[in-house]
Amino acid sequence: MPIPVSLQPLMPAAGSEAAVEVVLRHLRPAGLYPAGGRFGRGPDAQPHHLVNFLVACTAPQPGDGPSLVEAIKRSLYMTSPGAGADQGPRLGPSTLHDVLVRWIEDGARLQAEQPAESREWPETVRYDPERSFPDHLNFYFSPFKVELVWIGRNGHPGRTDIYAPPPSDQEASSTLAQRWQRSAIIRMATMPSFLINKAASVWLATLRRQDANPQSKTTVRGSTL
C-alpha cells in the first residue's frame, strides 16, 4: 500500500518508505493513525496522528510504536535541572503528547504568519523567548523518560525539560521498564525539531487544502487561512 502523501515530507523520521509502512502497520490497528485510501490519499492526518507517527519512529522496535505513543500520553513534566524550582515547564504542564500536538499547531500558525521567503524557521523564530521550541528531544527507554533540549544563542545546551510517567502510574512505569530493559538494543533515540516543524508544514498544507473547499472554514489557532 502506498504511504500517505502527507507523510512523504516526514520520511526522514523512519528512514525509508518501507520503514514508514512498517510503522503504520502497527499504528493503524491500534487506532493511532487513519487508514490509507487508494493511491496513498486516504483521510487527512490530524496533529495527534502526526505526533503518533513521529514518536513511533523513535521506538526501539517497530512493534513498540503503539506502546511508546501510550507512554508519552501518560508522561508529565517532572523537572528542569538547573532551571530553578519555580520556573516550571517551558511548554506547559500538559502530557508530553499534548505538548507535541500543540507544538505542531503553533508551528503551523507561525508558518502561516511568516512571509513565504522566511519559512525555513530562522533563528529569530527559533529563539524568540515567547515562541521558543526545543532543538531536539531525547528518548530514553530504560528507564523511560524524554528530555526536551533547548540550545542557547551561543550554541551550547541550554534548558532541558524532563517528562516521564509519574511514579504513581505503575502500569506505565513498570511495564515499559521491564519490557525495554530486557529487549531494547537501542537505549536512546533523538528526534530533531526539524521533523516536528515539517509536521507543522504538513498540517498547514492540510488546513489550506481543506480551506479551499467552500463547504468548510478552517483556522489555525485563531488565524483564518
Domain positions in the chain:
5-211
Higher pLDDT pick, 219 / 111: 111
pLDDT of residue 179: 60
Distance in angstroms (rounded) separating the CA atoms of residues 225 and 218: 7
3-state secondary structure of 144: strand
Decide which of 187 and 130 is more confident: 187
Element housing 162 (H / E)? strand 157-164
- Give dist(CA 134, CA 32) in Å, integer: 24
- 120-149 burial by CB neighbour count: b if 16+ within 10 A, else e? ebeeebbbeeeeebbbbbbbebbebbbbbb
Residue 221 in this model has a pLDDT that exceeds 60: no
Rounded mean pLDDT of the chain? 78
- Residue with cell string 502523501: 5
- pLDDT of 124 above 50: no
* Count of CA atoms in the C-beta half-sphere (13 A) of 202: 27
Which whole-number Å values give the CA distances from 98 to 38, 92, 152, 175, in the listed order? 31, 9, 25, 22
Q: Which amino acid is present at 202?
A: V
- Using one digit for the tens of pLDDT, what is the confidence trace for 173-219? 555 556 655 554 557 899 998 899 899 999 999 898 888 775 544 44
**What pLDDT is stored for residue 181 in this prediction?**
58
What pLDDT does residue 28 have? 93
Q: Is the pLDDT of residue 94 over 50?
A: yes
Dist. CA 187–CA 185, nearest whole Å: 6
Q: Mean pLDDT check: name the lowest of 65-74, 81-90, 93-102.
A: 81-90
For the stretch 13-42, pLDDT in tens is 988 888 999 999 999 999 999 986 544 556
